[in-house]
A and B are shown apart, each in its own frame.
Chain A
Amino acid sequence: MADNSVRWEFQPVADQAVNIDFGELIDEEINLRITSLAAAINNKRLTGVTACIPTYRSLTVAYDSALVRQSHLIERLKELITTVKTETKTRKCWYLPVCYGGKYGVDLPASAQTLALSPDELIRLHTATCYRIYMIGFMPGFAYLGGLDARLHIPRRTAPRQSVPAGSISIGGIQTAVGSVAAPSGWHLLGQTPVKSFDPLREQPFLFTAGEYIEFVPIKENEYVKLADDRGYMPDWNLRA
């Protein structure tokens, strides 16, 4: 895909940031372009830039107007957008163990019923995809994944739960996600991973980066308990082109 075929628009976020919007759609190619651009901006260390937040379809570049004016920053960003090549480098694919159902995934039976699947069939479909991490947001380390099988698209709960456990694996709408810390949620809980995607005391507090991939691997409860007790446990990963 030729880079110049992608359209974008600059939108001011007052005098704090500029939003580069690539349109109202979820698309792997566009997200790849956004994560590549974010990496390029971080590498360039542009004067005055204080944060670079990639999302599904936009990149928000925060700046300090005492150091750079937005009009000037936009000129620098335009140059980068037109010159940065979409990264084709290999990315990590994490193999994330998940204990599905039971007390770890209280919504599994009801979700299966809504989707007219057996619980086993639902688990099989959920673990059959290699998901792209489109963005990290909402809570520290919370990973939004794309690529959920259309057979698993499901409306969100009418009443969100006040709090779901850390490590919750859930589906909602056309998305699936890996929870990090305990948080409110209106999504359906399928299971739980013993892996901590955020641990402030670990040398690398955040496990995932937008642009990486995740595959879920079903595990039994006894294995979950063992892995959850192991503070140093890290999941396997491979490089994916």
Chain B
Amino acid sequence: MTYFDVLSPGLLSTLQDGGRFGYEDKGVPPSGVLDELSFAIANALVGNHPGTGAIEFTLTGPSLRLCGDGYCFFSVTGDFSATLNDAPCATYQNHRMHPGDILSIQRVISGARGYLSISGGFAVPPVLGSVSTLMRAQLGGVNGHPLRKGDRLPVAPQRHSVCHGVRAERILPQMEKRAVRVVWGPQDDYFGDEARASFLTQTYTLSPQCDRMGYRLKGSPLAHVKGFNIISDAICAGSIQIPGDGQPIVAMNDRQTTGGYPKIATVIRADLARLGQMKPGDPIRFEAVSVEKAEDLWQGRQKILAQKLATLNKKVLAACP
């Protein structure tokens, strides 16, 4: 049996995959990776099916020792520095790791999150079809909690051989410095023209209360014209709630599925990965677009990503000497 021994867990490292879908009507948020771009590249680099569970780490990465009797391939994405047995180890490239080797991922350089994928994935039992950790309900991952020192993470058997030393293009969502795009609603009618204008013209700051559930923003407060309570309805990823104090809360992947504050706008899908790379203190501005424009942006981005991943897959899975 091959497994990783967690020497240090980093600041917040959880096992995540594409998400736990189909249970939102039962109160279960989808969870899943906050930056699906970096996650997709990490998996492609080790020849995994898209959506195979990886370790998502935040601001400071984990240190892990490979134990047991087999080797594995790994890749690290996100803007972090890493070492393999104390020697620098390039990110956005796949490497082979042998029993006894120690991989240490250090502090973030830019952005907030990184991903560690291994060939074959981690052998953790899925809960409701996903290995994603939902800490609040203690579901998935390693007994529902973030990685801890001393945890053992079993490695699943490899499906095929992988060419190592393959590099991928560094796509860092945080490098795009433009405003985060939103679509108005569903409850923008709870705000007057002045509040709506203020929402789009001011630069907010991400407060220290930023986690996988939601990001609290700081700025000049927005006034409600119809009170700040609605009869609870559904909350989606990127929903921007405005509670009584007028300071926005952006719902993220581990959000509660329903909530009772009016939602002024919703972040478009193509910009969610960028949101996932934000951290406390970061500035954020919003720009309103139409639904059609948001759909075009998402379709365009998915097409380009699919092409890049197909090219990468060919290189990784090509017959190796």
Contact = CB atoms under 8 A, between A and B. Distances in A.
Interface in A110-160: 135-142, 144
Interface of B is mostly: mixed
A26 interface: yes
A70 B295 contact: yes
B183 interface: yes
Interface in B166-191: 182-187
Interface stretch (A57-65, A94-102, A213-221): A57-65
Contacts of B137: 139-140, 181, 198
Contacts of A137: 27, 232, 234, 256-258
Contacts of A176: none
A36 interface: no
B10 interface: no
Size range of the interface on B?
35 or more
B294 to A, nearest CB: 4
B128 A205 contact: yes
A194 to B, nearest CB: 19
A183 interface: yes
Interface string B138-179: 110000000000000000000000000000000000000000
Interface stretch (B18-26, B73-81, B197-205, B307-315): B18-26
For B24, B234, B266, B292, which residue has the most chain A Cβ atoms within 10 angstroms?
B234
Contact of B233 (A51, A57, A65, A136): A57
Interface string B274-309: 000000000000000001101101110010000000
B267 interface: yes
A14 B26 contact: no
Contacts of B21: 50-51
B27 A58 contact: no
Contacts of B234: 13, 17, 19, 53, 55, 58, 60, 137
A183 B137 CA distance: 8
Interface in B16-37: 21-28
B239 interface: yes
A191 interface: no
Given A13-B266, A205-B128, A136 B26 contact: yes
Contacts of A66: 298-299, 302
B230 interface: yes
B254 to A, nearest CB: 11
A101 to B, nearest CB: 27
B313 to A, nearest CB: 19
B257 A19 contact: no
A25 B127 contact: no
Interface string B206-246: 00000000000000000000000011111011110000000
Interface string A195-206: 000101000011
A12 interface: yes
A54 interface: yes
Nearest to A207: B26
Size range of the interface on A?
35 or more
A56 B232 contact: yes
Contact of A17 (B138, B236, B295): B236
A24 interface: yes
A21 interface: yes
A183 B70 CA distance: 41
Contacts of A53: 24-25, 234, 257-258
Contact of A135 (B182, B238, B258, B267): B258
A90 interface: no
A60 to B, nearest CB: 4
Interface in A69-87: 69-71
Contact of A14 (B25, B27, B136, B291): B291
A226 B233 CA distance: 37
Interface string B254-273: 00111000000111111000
Going nearest first, the 8 A-B pairs with the smallest beta carbon separation are: A137-B258, A60-B234, A15-B294, A11-B186, A14-B266, A14-B183, A65-B295, A53-B234
Interface of B: 21-28, 127-128, 136-139, 182-187, 230-234, 236-239, 256-258, 265-270, 291-292, 294-295, 297-299, 302
Given A55-B258, A137-B232, A137-B234, 20 more contacts: A12-B183, A12-B186, A13-B186, A13-B236, A14-B268, A14-B269, A15-B297, A19-B233, A53-B257, A69-B292, A69-B295, A70-B291, A137-B256, A138-B232, A138-B258, A140-B23, A142-B27, A181-B138, A198-B27, A200-B128
6 contacts: A13-B185, A62-B24, A137-B257, A139-B136, A141-B26, A141-B27
Interface of A: 11-17, 19, 21, 24-26, 38, 50-58, 60, 62, 65-66, 69-71, 135-142, 144, 180-181, 183, 198, 200, 205-206, 210
